[in-house]
Structure 1
């Protein structure tokens, strides 16, 4: 069987490298080989890998894919594709003496192609959801980076209207230019009446929806595009040079407006505006709230192997599969190595709750103390603060004491730098930074209900009597937390968690399970920050 050959080939290759390797390589390789042979979908949680060795699991799925006699598809971001094409695949092909064809692109190379096609998530989703697929069904598919699958799908399914789209609409319908201009003025006034918030967006409900519906009525599109379709990209037409499109009739609209109207008239859609108050501009956004029903039909079209770091605390990934509409599949979750992936967790007691007026002062004092204790150690420090006013305040206070070492959401130029940042910036740039000796976390990354988009999703869950905290907020926070601390595991550094909810809320046990393996400490010791120390 292919499992035996894969096991023997990969084991021999790993031994030839003469370096320590991920202990679950052979098990995962056999699981992927079995999935290819039986055509049964699988979901594999590898455990969050360290940044320096990120992708150490990839040999485990590449080996069976290269030995497998039939065609296969690998879905991976562009940065991962480059690593596959330049490093892992050439190494394995040379060892296995395999000459299987490897291609990249946005379509299937040909009917007789039995090699490996590597595509981006955008390309794969476009093919799966479009009305004219360019990749045949039934081909075994590996999705590397399944942690981001929900975000990829939401980004793909989101439709937007910006200032250029309003201009194109007036070009397409010059007979209604005055009405379009008036609707845009009214929409601008209604949107800018919403109070400002740090997230630079606002939900659009009664008045704004009425303005859009009235505009479409004026354009002669009332009810013309309300029929249900398979996807927002199901119907396409050839664009004209000026960006308008011909769909038939005198009331045809640019494709962006047709798509937006189609999405707006579906159930369970979230409508909001991204606002640039300085420029006086806004962008309308519409996206599905619930993805399971939309994506569910896609998964049965081919055998799948979804590979992620930490998709769910549960081995069966129940919440993750429900969110994406994944059905029955083989689920495996590998444990982290307590000797190489462990961290020290500093979890002080006595701090005020984050929602109290006393919290910020106490957190600033605690962070200053930690930085002073760790000053003798060598290494880079990151401080995660999501609250925007608090982040700016903390950055100013620390810069006054520690000088140019402190940067606020800007990559430090010196090795002993102190980065004060939000979660999004940290997750995006952590691969370009050295592993932090100290990662201080002000509050858990629970999505804020002050964010209109979060509030809109929570309202959807509440309207259906669903547990919005444990089905949305908590899983999102745990996923973000696991990814954020991944670099600390590389140097077995210190994570300082200054959110006392971890100690006093029932979900604190899940937070600690997410952070494990760990050695919990509640006092400070300068020796912890020695770059040459090791965890016992």
Structure 2
């Protein structure tokens, strides 16, 4: 059986390399090989979110190279380049299977028997829109499904900007004056919204009425973007919002489904699929994640634990810090940060301070820069060797792959999506309307996923993580936060002897 052959080849390869990159290689490789052989879907949590080096990827590349039938590998562009330039050339020197490999956004030929590597955008677009570019029935491996929901939501979102308004006037010349007047009414209504840090707002009923009245009078065939937008606008399970560029006086309209499970569910019946992510759910069966992406119970679920020695972090949780929504929080936060930065001054590595609240982030950055000088930068990538980066969650997520792994990592508040963000409020309102537990099903899973992905680089050097949000100590969900952070060694005090980085 292919499972046995894969096991033998991979074990020999790892022995030849002289280093076991990941302790679960052989188990995962056998599972992927079995999925290919019997055509059964699987959901695998590697436990290594945000691992750009992909130490687990050998586990699925070996079975793909040895499998004699065609297969699709779905990975983001950046990962494709590493696979093609590093992983596959290294494996092909060892595994003598001349299997063809191509990249592209469609199946090469009806009789193609090799591996096709494609992007999530290309593959999902084909499946969601029935474009026919990829045959059904071909086993498919999707790597990085931590982002599956955002990939899908991006593809399902309809956006209308200035160019679309011009296209609408060209398509409906008889109603050009009406279109222009409707746009002016929208601009007036939209720019009356008070400014917020996100520069986006849920569409209110008055603005919705302007759009629906415009639709009523448009009799010609509409441009596809507008037709799709008006179709979604009238559905109750859609989130409709506007983003504003105040200085330019421009706005864009957006519409997307609140939940995407119903769109993804038909996809999984079209081929056996192995979905691979880092940390999708705290539970092995990933019930919440499967519900969110439309996966049924008929698949194999496996979750690997992190190594207690190699992936251990030091976790500091001071007691007595006020709750984040109190006036005393900022002072207590700055006191802890000063102590942390002073004691770790000898560490010649990056320090990251994560502050989700935008105004607080700016204040913390300014105060610390006045005390610690140019080492402190707010959301910048040009940093000194021992730099101090003050950043929000989104900036860190986008740039952590190109920045050096931090040794000291301080978290001001948990990354629980803010109800002040209009899009978060809109999704929560939908859960409330359907009498669902919006915190357990939406806010908490989002926070735990963000947390695990963000601290992943710290594990590379068994670094120091400080959580300065006392809700971990005093709220019932604190236990789940600690489970997501495991493995860790708890630190109850600060001392300069704690800051001794492990050499890589």
Task: State whether TM-score is above 0.5.
Answer: yes
Supply the distance in 1 between the matched residues of 2:436 and 2:394 (Cα, whole angstroms).
27
Deviation of the 1:132 alpha carbon: 2.6
Deviation of the 1:356 alpha carbon: 0.9
Q: Does 1:202 align with 2:172?
A: no
Which residue matches 1:242? none
Which residue matches 2:285? 316
Deviation of the 1:379 alpha carbon: 1.3
Deviation of the 1:340 alpha carbon: 0.4
Which residue matches 1:75? 74
Q: Does 1:435 align with 2:444?
A: no
Supply the distance in 2 between the matched residues of 1:87 and 1:433 (Cα, whole angstroms).
21
Supply the distance in 2 between the matched residues of 1:439 and 1:75 (Cα, whole angstroms).
32
Deviation of the 1:533 alpha carbon: 7.6
Which residue matches 1:164? 163
Q: Does 1:127 align with 2:97?
A: no
Show structure 1 runs of 5+ residues with no match.
Answer: 221-250
What secondary structure does 1:492 align onto? coil
**Greater Cα shift, 327-336 or 262-271:** 262-271
Q: Which runs of 4+ in 1 moved over 4 A?
A: none
Deviation of the 1:363 alpha carbon: 0.7
1:189-228 counterparts in 2 under 5 A? 189-220=188-219
Aligned length in residues: 503
> RMSD over aligned Cα, in angstroms?
1.2
Q: Does 1:490 align with 2:489?
A: no
Q: Give the counterpart of 2:383 among 405, 413, 429.
A: 413
Deviation of the 1:94 alpha carbon: 2.2
Supply the distance in 1 between the matched residues of 2:248 and 2:466 (Cα, whole angstroms).
39
Which residue matches 2:235? 266
- What do the CA deviations read for 1:393-419 (whole angstroms, capped 9, x no partner)? 111101111111111000133100000
Deviation of the 1:49 alpha carbon: 5.4
Deviation of the 1:342 alpha carbon: 0.3
Contact 2:461 2:503 (C-alpha < 8 Å) held by counterparts: no
- What do the CA deviations read for 1:368-401 (whole angstroms, capped 9, x no partner)? 1111111122211000011110011111101111
Supply the distance in 2 between the matched residues of 1:317 and 1:398 (Cα, whole angstroms).
41
Q: Does 1:294 align with 2:263?
A: yes
Supply the distance in 2 between the matched residues of 1:301 and 1:393 (Cα, whole angstroms).
52
Contact 1:437 1:491 (C-alpha < 8 Å) held by counterparts: yes
Contact 1:205 1:271 (C-alpha < 8 Å) held by counterparts: no
- What do the CA deviations read for 1:78-137 (whole angstroms, capped 9, x no partner)? 000001111111221221111101011111111110100000000001110123311100
Under a length normalisation based on structure 1, what TM-score does the superposition of the two structures give? 0.92
Instruction: Say if 1:479 and 1:532 are closer, same or farther in 2 by CA, change over 3 A.
Output: closer
Contact 1:140 1:304 (C-alpha < 8 Å) held by counterparts: yes
What secondary structure does 1:353 align onto? coil
Which residue matches 2:493? 523
Contact 1:45 1:334 (C-alpha < 8 Å) held by counterparts: yes
Supply the distance in 1 between the matched residues of 2:347 and 2:267 (Cα, whole angstroms).
51
1:273-422 counterparts in 2 under 5 A? 273-328=242-297, 329-422=299-392
Q: Give the counterpart of 2:224 among 234, 250, 255.
A: 255
Supply the distance in 2 between the matched residues of 1:30 and 1:422 (Cα, whole angstroms).
40
Which residue matches 1:137? 136
Contact 2:377 2:383 (C-alpha < 8 Å) held by counterparts: no
What secondary structure does 1:259 align onto? helix
Supply the distance in 2 between the matched residues of 1:2 and 1:131 (Cα, whole angstroms).
32
Supply the distance in 2 between the matched residues of 1:310 and 1:182 (Cα, whole angstroms).
49
What secondary structure does 1:55 align onto? coil
Under a length normalisation based on structure 2, what TM-score does the superposition of the two structures give? 0.98
